[in-house]
Amino acid sequence: MKSIKVDMSLDDILINMIDKLKLLVHFDRLSFLMLTNETLRLSHVYPEDHYSLEIGSTIPKAQSLYWSALDKRQTVLQSLTDTNHAFYEKPYLAVLELKSILVIPIYSKNKRIGVLSIGRKQEIDWSSDDLAFLEQLTDHLAVSIENVELYSQVLRSKQEWEDTFKAVDDMIVVFGQEGNVVQFNDAVHEFLQNHELTHISALVAHCEPLVKETFYSEKAGHKEIHLRNQTICELSTYPLLNNEQVMYGVIAYIKDVTEKRKMEVQLIHSGKLAAIGEMAAGVAHELNSPLTAILGNSQLILRNMNNHDSLFPLLTDIKNCGDRCKRIINSLLTFSRQDDFVFESCSINDAVNETLNLLKYQLEKEKVIIKTELQKDIPFIEGNQAQIEQIIINLLLNAKAALEETLREKKEILIKTSFQFHEVHLSVTDNGIGIEEERLSEIFHPFHTTKSSKEGTGLGLSVSIGIAKSHGGTIEVHSKWNKGSTFILKLPTASDKVGGTI
């Protein structure tokens, strides 16, 4: 039995035992019954084809010789030719032409393991030395079986832990006492690939300060780390302690919260927009009353005035300016309306016109030439016009800011709508300063801006791409430094319906 190892299977242990037993003790048949959850089950038979009960059969307790030996913890030698003694196993053993049976209970300390049954075809007495040897053998067998079971449990636990470790969606990195990386899960591999990082050291470098702090304090630590491409992660570190409560490592839990932060920023920005919209709506309503009086009185005076009167041009100018103010107020009220952003069929051309009512004067004041090429009968989109107008406003304000940075005398913005590839396209093109190539991949990230904090928040394009995606669309950008930029909003159509004004 010395050659038995903990990583051996029960089959291998019994084969090993039988091979040695055959050299020392004469027997014709051997069976091993395993006790599991208070069920005694036939597990192994030698020779393999020498059985009348199927392998796996359970032995009932009633009138069982095996159960009697196991419960009493006594070795039993029983003649099968004795007609006065009946027991459950007797007919199954008699069929095998056995004359006597030796039943040895297998215990590990006080734990019941099973039963070893040895049969002979002749009624030969067992010597005391043989019995002592067999009892000693079963003691070793019990220890070996229990060690194998413990080893199997450890392996299963280890496998379950590794499977769980690999299955966790967030990144987990285990650090050794020297601060070296001992292990990391599949989520780390995936993160490195998605962010085009060739080695885990790029990630570990951001973790090291907090890992060292946890090693020093033996307490959990938490912080937010910022990686390349404006990736934001929450990092938590926890001490790993052994049974003696001695720390032998640190486990780092890393969660990518970039999208979560973007959503939080958009919610904050939406809240600010809602507050500004509510304030603007209030101001617009307050202006409507005096404006109504100005327009009404100017129209009454003009009706009773001769066209050749010297005051006629001045009153006409007052009326025209009043009409223009009314259009701006109506557009402002439409834009600031506190809707639940219900999606419905709407026209991209109408959204452009409403936006220009708000911004055209501001742009022309900066000597920016506004050109429009709006496709007639363009299909409707399924969306919220107020949100689409917000995108157009952000694109126009960005174009205006880009033009302010150029020394070009002729400053132009072209707004164009078209229907291409089953999509409605809206492009805003300027001949401003343009965007550096290395910044193109970052312009849609929250807070990314080249302006001062007083001039911009860096949220306009981030919010715009969020709105576009919520409409099933996207925003593309093409730009060359010192040449200008084109932003293209692409949205799916609502149906075959067409409409919108130019």
Note whether 356 and 494 are same-domain residues.
Answer: yes
Last residue of a domain, one of 209, 231, 256: 256
* pLDDT, tens only, 23-71: 888 888 898 999 988 999 998 888 887 778 888 899 999 999 999 999 9
Confidence of residue 491 (pLDDT cuts 50, 70, 90): very high
Note whether 30 and 100 are same-domain residues.
Answer: yes
Domain assignment present for residue 2? The answer is no
Last residue of a domain, one of 194, 228, 256: 256
As a whole number of angstroms, the distance between CA 84 and CA 427 comes to: 104
Note whether 252 and 262 are same-domain residues.
Answer: no
Least confident stretch, 201-215, 432-446, 479-493: 432-446
Domain assignment present for residue 1? The answer is no
Buried b or exposed e, range 375-396, using 16+ CB within 10 angstroms: beebbbbebbbbbbbbbbbbbb
- Extract long-range pairs of 136-140: CB within 8 Å, 24+ residues apart: 137/1, 137/17, 137/21, 138/104, 138/105, 138/106, 139/107, 140/1
Note whether 234 and 275 are same-domain residues.
Answer: no
Domain assignment present for residue 280? The answer is yes
Give the CATH number of the domain where residue 388 resides: 3.30.565.10
| Reported pTM | 0.43
Domain assignment present for residue 128? The answer is yes
As a whole number of angstroms, the distance between CA 350 and CA 380 comes to: 10
Note whether 71 and 134 are same-domain residues.
Answer: yes
Note whether 322 and 445 are same-domain residues.
Answer: no
Domain assignment present for residue 293? The answer is yes
Note whether 223 and 290 are same-domain residues.
Answer: no
Domain that holds residue 355: 342-502
Domain assignment present for residue 29? The answer is yes
As a whole number of angstroms, the distance between CA 37 and CA 62 comes to: 17
* pLDDT, tens only, 129-145: 888 888 888 888 888 88
Q: Answer yes or no: are the C-beta atoms of 14 and 28 closer than 8 Å.
A: no
Per-residue pLDDT at 160 exceeds 70: yes
Domain assignment present for residue 33? The answer is yes
Give the CATH number of the domain where residue 315 resides: 1.10.287
Confidence of residue 124 (pLDDT cuts 50, 70, 90): confident
Confidence of residue 331 (pLDDT cuts 50, 70, 90): low
Note whether 328 and 362 are same-domain residues.
Answer: no
Domain assignment present for residue 349? The answer is yes
Note whether 127 and 188 are same-domain residues.
Answer: no
Please list the residues that pair with 181 across neighbouring strands.
Answer: 175
Give the CATH number of the domain where residue 229 resides: 3.30.450.20
Distances in Å between the alpha carbon of 148 and those of 42, 56, 135, 206, 479? 19, 20, 20, 43, 68
pLDDT of residue 452: 45
Buried b or exposed e, range 263-297, using 16+ CB within 10 angstroms: eebbeebbeebeeebeebbeebeeeeeebeeebee
As a whole number of angstroms, the distance between CA 160 and CA 363 comes to: 65
As a whole number of angstroms, the distance between CA 241 and CA 335 comes to: 59
Q: State what percent of residues in the chain have pLDDT above 70.
A: 90
Give the CATH number of the domain where residue 80 resides: 3.30.450.40
The mean pLDDT value for 197-201 works out to 80
Tally of domains within the chain: 4
Note whether 234 and 351 are same-domain residues.
Answer: no
Per-residue pLDDT at 1 exceeds 70: no
As a whole number of angstroms, the distance between CA 479 and CA 85 comes to: 100
Confidence of residue 3 (pLDDT cuts 50, 70, 90): low
Note whether 34 and 87 are same-domain residues.
Answer: yes
Last residue of a domain, one of 256, 281, 305: 256
Note whether 501 and 361 are same-domain residues.
Answer: yes
